């Protein structure tokens, strides 16, 4: 198997890091790899905010609920139409990108940039953690990082030298995710079989036991990602988009 494939297949989420800094030259290479990711129209409607200053990093970590506090580098990847609008203005053109289409487009492109950087970092022996909580605290993170209108944080990577060797997270197999030619619906038996790999994992079974729920699905829907939280976060995102994107 190709070395890059081996690297991707060996991915682990690292949350504890050594105090050792990431060298400037190495970080520059990782960022450069991010910029080589595919993107729509070669417009690169994303920006990356690199945070290393301890006080600012601690504030950013607090907004991510204290996760990965020992990481020496934080990369906040943003969907960004602000820079392109400035270029359009400078050339006497309109500003056609402050809409849902380009929010989704820029988010996809920003995510591709983020994944390139993660892969580059892991190839150098670094570890990282994607922090989905960037979407829980979008407005506060944008304000902390001084993001102007048209810039929306969409992905955060905590990065550094690993101080742990975490377990490899389970994944649903290809038969549960890959659809040949067209989308094929699932039978009840398919759903049970596909998710069994996660439900039978001792780690997940222990989580179910500790939280006194019937099964893993109940753990997710009532404790980890309950509807009331989803609706509240969705409303906050809508408000942020209405004010800061359109």
Contact between 68 and 131 under an 8 Å Cβ cutoff? The reply is yes
Q: Which of 29, 240, 22 is nearest to 150 (CA)?
A: 240
41 belongs to a structural domain: yes
Q: Rounded to an integer, what distance in angstroms lies between the CA atom of residue 81 and that of residue 245?
A: 8
Domain count of the fold of the chain: 1
CA distances (Å), origin 219, targets 57, 164, 214, 215, 225 = 31, 26, 8, 7, 8
Q: For a pLDDT cut of 70, what percent of the chain falls above it?
A: 100
Q: What is the pLDDT of residues 113-153, one digit of tens each?
A: 999 999 999 999 999 999 999 999 999 999 999 999 999 99
95 belongs to a structural domain: yes
229 belongs to a structural domain: no
Q: Is the pLDDT of residue 198 over 80?
A: yes
pTM above 0.75, yes or no: yes
Q: What is the pLDDT of residues 63-109, one digit of tens each?
A: 999 999 999 999 999 999 999 999 999 999 999 999 999 999 999 99
Q: What is the pLDDT of residue 1?
A: 56
Give me the domain span that covers residue 85: 3-167
Tokens of 78: 């943003």
Which pLDDT band holds residue 12 (cuts at 50, 70, 90)?
very high
242 belongs to a structural domain: no
200 belongs to a structural domain: no
CATH number at residue 146: 3.40.109.10
Mean pLDDT, residues 203-224: 96
* DSSP per-residue string spanning 128-184: EEE-GGGGTSHHHHHHHTT--TTEEEEEEEEEE-BS--PPPPP---HHHH--SSS--
């Amino acid at each position: 198997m190709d070395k890059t494939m081996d690297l991707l297949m060996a991915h682990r989420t690292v949350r504890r890091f050594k105090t050792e800094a990431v060298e400037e030259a190495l970080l520059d290479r990782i960022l450069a790899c991010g910029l080589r990711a595919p993107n729509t129209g070669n417009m690169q409607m994303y920006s990356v905010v690199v945070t290393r200053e301890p006080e600012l990093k601690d504030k950013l970590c607090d907004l991510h609920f204290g996760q990965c506090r020992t990481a020496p580098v934080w990369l906040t990847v943003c969907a960004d139409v602000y820079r392109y609008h400035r270029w359009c203005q400078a050339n006497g053109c309109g500003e056609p990108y402050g809409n849902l289409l380009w929010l989704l487009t820029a988010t996809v492109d920003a995510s591709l940039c983020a994944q390139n950087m993660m892969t580059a970092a892991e190839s150098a022996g670094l570890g990282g953690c994607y922090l989905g909580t960037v979407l829980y605290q979008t407005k506060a993170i944008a304000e902390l990082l001084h993001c102007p209108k048209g810039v929306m944080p969409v992905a955060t990577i905590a990065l550094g030298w690993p101080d742990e060797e975490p377990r490899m997270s389970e994944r649903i197999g290809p038969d549960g995710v890959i659809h040949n030619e067209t989308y094929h619906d699932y039978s009840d038996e398919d759903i049970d079989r596909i998710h069994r790999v996660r439900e039978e994992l001792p780690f997940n079974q222990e989580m179910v036991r500790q939280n006194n729920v019937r099964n893993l699905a109940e753990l997710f829907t009532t404790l980890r990602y309950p509807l009331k939280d989803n609706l509240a976060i969705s409303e906050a995102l809508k408000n942020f988009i209405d004010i800061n994107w359109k």
